[in-house]
Structures are given as structure tokens and as C-alpha cells.
Chains A and B, each alone.
Chain A
Amino acid sequence: MRDFYGTTLPLPLMLGTARYPSPTVMEAAFRQSAAPVATVSLRREQGAGQAFWDMVRGLGVHLLPNTAGCHSAREAITTAQMAREYFQTNWIKLEVIGHADTLQPDPFGLVEAAEVLCADGFEVFPYTTEDQVLAARLVDAGCRVLMPWGAPIGSGLGLNNLHGLRSLRAAFPDVAMVIDAGLGLPSHAAQALEMGFDAVLLNTAVAEAEDPAAMAEAFALACRAGALAVASGPMGQRDMAVPSTPVIGKAWL
């Protein structure tokens, strides 16, 4: 079984902490889903940092700090170093954004930052695309987890490029992969798990639901369903019908 830098998760669900109507609702979403990983970030201190730190620590989950909003390798590296000290974890969700509208990763800056951070002992979770050449470069840099996008961040479109994601999954059988970004519905999460991805990471789909805690639970159930399905060995698909009821013994009427 593929793990995340030696950590196995009881539920393949990573949940963001942003955009909830209130901190109480966010806590409820974690409680109701039992998501074992929370993504967090670092921003300029304006008085609320300590309270948020106390709250996320209280969730009792693995923390995955991000480098969200960084547009260069240098920015992302410095942010990662600050996050490691602050959150006391080697895990870093590495984002190097290349385009303001699509929030598509900058593949060149991403590889550059991943090389520096992996060499410095970080356990890097790079936010990437389904590009296999880029994936190979990230693995060469030392990444043992990849986080391909499903669709642009916050779009809720689901898995945009099924063929590309399927090919990526097949090309790196030993690398743990998390579908990060773009999921909108629990069925998208189940689909990702059924395709052999090891977890999903989402935020907006839960935080912007009318009832975030209930939606978080729905995603948790979908993740369980998807993981159980893939472990159960799904049947192969066929082009033609095959009757499930035996033909032998049918009455002559």
C-alpha cells in the first residue's frame, strides 16, 4: 500500500480550512468527516494567528501547510521554511502558481523549488498537473507524493482529463497520488479513489456547501466507497451485454 512519507491515513481525505462561514463550522466539518489531514497556510500576522493555531492543533489531525499564492520558487522555498518552523512538520504542500486566472502550476518553478526542499529534508506534496514529464522530474527531485489537479482550484468541475489522470496513475505505480483541486461533488472523490488515486484534497466543495459539515461527511463516505471499491477489484468493462441471470434451466414456454 502506498503511504504518504511513511504515514498511512485512516481515511483518504485531506480537507482545507479556508472559506468556511465560521471557525465553528470548520471544526464541525472535521468532526463529522473524520478527515485526518488539514491544510493550513501562513500569512502576515494581524492578531488572529495564535487563536487559529490553537484551533487547528486542537483538531488532532496531521497538518499540511501550503505555499499558496507563491509565484516563484524563491517565494515558495522561503514560505516552506517558515511553515516548517511554525507548524513543526516536514510536510509541505508545494504550490508555485504560474497563471493568475487558471492557478495552473508553474512547472519550472515547481521543479526548482521541489529540488531545493527535498534536499533540505522536506516531505514535499507538489501541486501539479497530469503532465507525465513534469511528474518524472518531480519524482527525480525526491518527491514521493504527487498531487495532480482534477480541475482548476475552486472550480468544482471534477476530473477534467480522465485519460491523462489514468495514464499518470499507471505510469508511476509506486508514487502516492492525491487529487488536489477542482472537486465539486462526492462522486468526483469516489471516482478518483476508484481510479487508484490514494486520497483527495478539497476545500471549497465543503466550505461553500450550504451545510459544510454534512457535505464533509458526504465526501468522507464517498472516499470510503471509492477506496473499498478499488480494494475489491472492480469488474472489467465490456461493449456487449452479458445476462446476469443463468440461461440454463430457463423454461420452454
Chain B
Amino acid sequence: MKIEVNGEALEVVASQLDAALAELGWGAAKVATALNGNFVPAGARGKTMLSDGDRLEVLSAMQGG
């Protein structure tokens, strides 16, 4: 299915968030996730299903003031 990942349209095979992250190369990465503007805790990724057109944000630490 086609989803938007960090603003970029991508094709993923996985239908669960944790599997999609692994597919996108973030399987072992320390990241925080939000789907369609809602926070998805790491523990809930396994039971979070993706749908066509979903907007996924995958964030990590960055410099800040």
C-alpha cells in the first residue's frame, strides 16, 4: 500500500506499524512514531494497522533550543 512517511510517498508491503518500520530500515532504531497526527507508543506498534494513504511520522533526537 502507499503511505506517506515523513512527508514522502512510499510503498510498503507490511500492514502493521512495527513491520513497516522494519521494512523501512528502522527495525532497531530508537524512534518515536505518530500516525495521522496521533502518537503511537512503541508498545502499541505491533497492534497498529496501516491503511492506504496514512501519514506516518518517524522522529528522533535533534538539536534544540
Q: Which residues of A contact B (CB under 8 A)?
A: 16-20, 26, 39-45, 48-50, 52-53, 56, 65-66, 68, 74-75, 78, 81-83, 85-87, 153, 203-204
Contacts and interface: CB of A to CB of B under 8 A. Distances in A.
Nearest to A72: B37
Q: Give 8 nearest A-B pairs by CB, closest first.
A: A49-B60, A41-B64, A16-B65, A203-B65, A82-B32, A81-B39, A43-B62, A18-B63
A49 B31 contact: yes
A102 to B, nearest CB: 16
Interface bracket on B: 20 to 34
Nearest to A77: B39
B64 A45 contact: no
B58 to A, nearest CB: 5
A18 B32 contact: no
A39 B33 CA distance: 20
Interface of B: 6-7, 26, 29-34, 37-39, 41-42, 57-65
Contacts of B6: 44-45
A24 B44 CA distance: 37
Given A45-B60, A85-B39, 14 more contacts: A16-B65, A17-B64, A41-B65, A45-B29, A49-B31, A49-B61, A49-B62, A50-B61, A68-B65, A74-B37, A78-B34, A78-B37, A78-B39, A81-B39
Contacts of A203: 65
